[in-house]
Amino acid sequence: MLTRQHAEELLDQLLEFRSELDEAECKSSASDPAKDAICALSNRRDRNGGVLFLGIGADFTILGIESIEKVQEQIVNQASDSFNAPLRVDPEVLERDGKQVLAVIVPPAPVGYRPCHYKKHGVHEGSWIRVGNSTRRMTHDEVTRELTTDAIHRGLVPPFDKTPIPAAGLEILDEALIEDYIAHVRKIRPNSQLYRLSRTELLDSVGGIAKDDSGAWHPTPTGVLFFSRDPQRLLPQSSVEFLHLWGPELTTLGPDGSRWRVNKELMGTLPEIIDQAEQLLLERVATRGHIETFRRRDEPEYPRFALREVVVNAIAHRDYTLRGSRIQIRLYPDRLEVHTPGGLPAPVTVDNIEDEQATRNEGIVALLTDYGYMERRGYGFNGIVAALREAGLAPPQLTDNGASFNLLLKNHLLMSPEALQWLHQFDHYQLSGQERLALAYLWANERLYNRDYVRLTATTSTEATQALRRMMHKKVLMMHSTRGGAYYTLPKTDPSTEVFHSEKGQEEIIIALVRKQGSITRRDVIASLQCTASEANRLLRRMMNQGQLVQEGTRKGTRYTLFIAEV
């Protein structure tokens, strides 16, 4: 549960950025919407609860709370009496600008009572959730998934992948596939006694079969997906759709009038599907040449490890109860997208995915590990981020709307020659290498979140916040506050209107660039100042007339250096 210190820090962030946070909401008073916020914070997907601040206006001004003891009593009673389970909130009085603000620390809804909901409205109409820094009523599907997850956590029902399929008999499990699995296990665990077990004992131990209410054995989804020759007959949602698109959009048509180069449904056991997807990706992604000593080595434009992991993670963690949707892999010329049905399993979110662990499909994950497709738990996503960082690519872009989880990889090299040229305009700002990397990221992307900076630079969230603040103070970044969370963009005029539109500022940028490169061309000026050719010509003439620059060469070979007296 959060503490008073956490509440103090959250309030400081909220007031500085003038934006509500995922774990913090503000209200002016303890009205009915405040109860909705308490319910929503208790249902947050990361299971950490949150803080409701009372006494803060919609424009993030400190209004304060009068009769604060009365409001404390009111909010404690509301949290205790309104919901299906009493929420033991902890109100703390904080002071800002000489006024009192009430920080209501909300605990997560307890296991066995999730989702928290209004007693008078019932679970499907009275459940609220905090998602993307907004408070809203939970959808019917979200409530159903939460109820199922809660029942699994309490041990009342097994996970879906270990539930018997009454329509299937044990005869659909293939002996050769079972023997192949045993061989894999004996390679990685030579002392395993798995082969000594009877078939029933072995399949039961790995969650491949389970008893129904009458005591009869039946295959489970885990058993079908690993040991059946035709898994899609019983679980059609387990196939994977692979699309290789012609252009940057789904609607882009190719030379033959089609939308895709390849549209293929991958079928078979889960290991077979993973192998098919990996082969298709390696065949179809572009390659880049790397010079090592005197030899050229071609590698896929996305790291092999990242390609494999995004496929394995999608197959391991998708929600197999959703029969009408499949994993979809879309390969575009400039990016790779993987769409996974079911969203992230609680308490994992797009913000804490590096640190939290959760397993929706225990049997499937265990068998993928035995087959060598998964390493230690929790490393997959961290490994993807590290591999992309080492390759000079941006971290994955993640979105989770509860119904599906989407992961996007871009093949654009962050520090490409074009990006390095563009970055010259910031030379006199004394930015760190990590801060320059963040600017290069924004040159290719519209928004930068704190979590993007963390993944991009391998720093902590606190270090990222400090760096982003420094960049704001230098006016090379702008912060935007929305209910979707604070994010950063390049200023409309890079890096600041004052610098780019003042003659002195333009001259300082050009002199810094010449000192760094030794000489510049008109094209360098255009790229650095984002100006027109005629504007660049006028600036260069002015600086030559003032004795700051000297022209060398003519026509296409024209370059400009510092006047000797400047050296």
- Please tell me whether the peptide bond between 221 and the residue prior to it is cis, using omega within 30 degrees of 0: no
- Closest CA relative to residue 18, chosen from 133, 141, 115: 133
Q: What is the pTM of this model?
A: 0.78
Q: How far is CA 47 from CA 136, 146, 469, in A?
A: 17, 12, 29
Task: Name the more confident of 355 and 240.
Answer: 240
Residue located via tokens 């896929």: 300
* Residue 137 shares a structural domain with residue 38: yes
Is residue 567 over pLDDT 90? Answer: no
pLDDT above 90: residue 38: yes
Question: What is residue 297's predicted lDDT score, i.e. its pLDDT?
Answer: 63
Quick one: 522 and 463 in the same domain?
no
Considering only 87-91, 157-161, 200-204, which range has the smallest mean pLDDT?
157-161
263 in any annotated domain: yes
450 and 540 share a domain?
Answer: no
Chain centroid to CA 406: how far?
8
Task: Give the per-residue pLDDT at 156.
Answer: 82
Tally of helices (H runs) and strands (E runs) in the chain: 20, 20
Extract the tokens encoding 353.
């995915």
On the question of pLDDT at 499 being above 50, the answer is no
Is the same domain home to 262 and 388? yes
pLDDT at 295 over 70: no
- The length of the chain in residues reads 567
Choose among 360, 446, 352: nearest CA to 400. 352
pLDDT score for 496: 43
Q: Report yes or no on 256 lying in a domain.
A: yes
* DSSP code, position 62: B
Q: Say if residue 501's pLDDT is above 50.
A: no
The number of distinct structural domains making up the chain is 4
In 3D space, the residue among 354, 502, 516 whose CA is nearest the CA of residue 424 turns out to be 516
What tens digit of pLDDT does each residue of 206-234 get? 999 999 999 999 999 999 999 999 999 99
pLDDT of residue 375: 76
User: Which of 119, 153, 187 is a domain's end point?
Assistant: 153
**pLDDT score of 495 more than 50:** no
At residue 523, φ and ψ (nearest 5 deg) are: -65, -35
In this structure, the answer to whether residues 390 and 480 fall within a common structural domain is: no
Q: Are 249 and 389 part of one and the same domain? A: yes
Predicted confidence band at 293 (pLDDT cuts at 50, 70, 90)? low
Are both 297 and 388 inside the same structural domain? yes
Q: What is the pLDDT of residues 113-152, one digit of tens each?
A: 999 999 999 999 999 998 767 899 999 988 988 898 888 8
Looking at 410, 443, 475, which one is the last position of a domain? 410
- Residue 295 covered by a domain: yes
Domain around 329 = 237-410
**Count of Cβ atoms closer than 10 Å to residue 118 Cβ:** 17
Q: Helix 433-444 crosses helix 450-457 at what angle (to 10 degrees)?
A: 120
For residue 445, pLDDT over 50 is answered with yes
Taking only the tens place, the pLDDT of each residue in 351-362 is: 889 888 888 899
**Has residue 214 been placed in a domain?**
no
Q: Is residue 172 part of a domain?
A: no
> Given this model, what pLDDT does residue 503 score?
67
Q: Are residues 341 and 452 in the same domain?
A: no
**Per-residue pLDDT for 253 more than 80?**
yes
64 within domain boundaries: yes
Judge whether residue 513 has pLDDT over 90.
no
The CATH number of whichever domain residue 295 belongs to comes to 3.30.565.60
Q: Does residue 28 sit within a domain?
A: yes
Average of per-residue pLDDT across 502-518: 77
Same domain for 400 and 512?
no
Of 377, 410, 443, the residue that ends a domain is 410
Q: What is the pLDDT of residues 145-176, one digit of tens each?
A: 889 888 888 878 889 999 999 999 999 999 99
State the average pLDDT over residues 424-441.
92
Could you give the C-alpha distances from 167 to 171, 202, 269, 363, in angstroms and in order? 12, 21, 19, 20
* 8 A C-beta contact, residue 399 and residue 449: no
**pLDDT at residue 497, rounded to an integer:** 43
Q: In what order do the strands lie in the sheet with 397-400?
A: 260-266, 240-245, 327-331, 335-341, 404-410, 397-400
Predicted local confidence at residue 530, as pLDDT: 67
Q: Give the pLDDT band (50/70/90) at residue 235.
A: very high
Does position 52 have pLDDT exceeding 50, yes or no?
Answer: yes
- Give the pLDDT confidence score for residue 485 in this predicted structure: 65
Indicate the average pLDDT of the chain. 88
What's the pLDDT score for residue 114? 93
In a shared domain, residues 405 and 473: no
The CATH number of whichever domain residue 118 belongs to comes to 3.30.950.30
Res. 511: pLDDT tops 90: no
Same domain assignment for residues 462 and 358: no
- Are residues 436 and 349 located together in one domain of the fold? no
Residue 351 domain-assigned?
yes
Residues 6 or more apart whose CB falls under 8 angstroms from that of 103 comprise 4, 7, 8, 11, 51, 52, 53, 91, 92, 93, 94
| CATH number, domain containing residue 541 | 1.10.10.10
492 pLDDT above the threshold of 80? no
At residue 254, does pLDDT exceed 90?
no
Give the Cα separation of 371 and 160 in Å (integer). 21
Can you tell me the mean pLDDT for 48-71? 91
Residue 29 to residue 154: CA distance in whole angstroms: 37
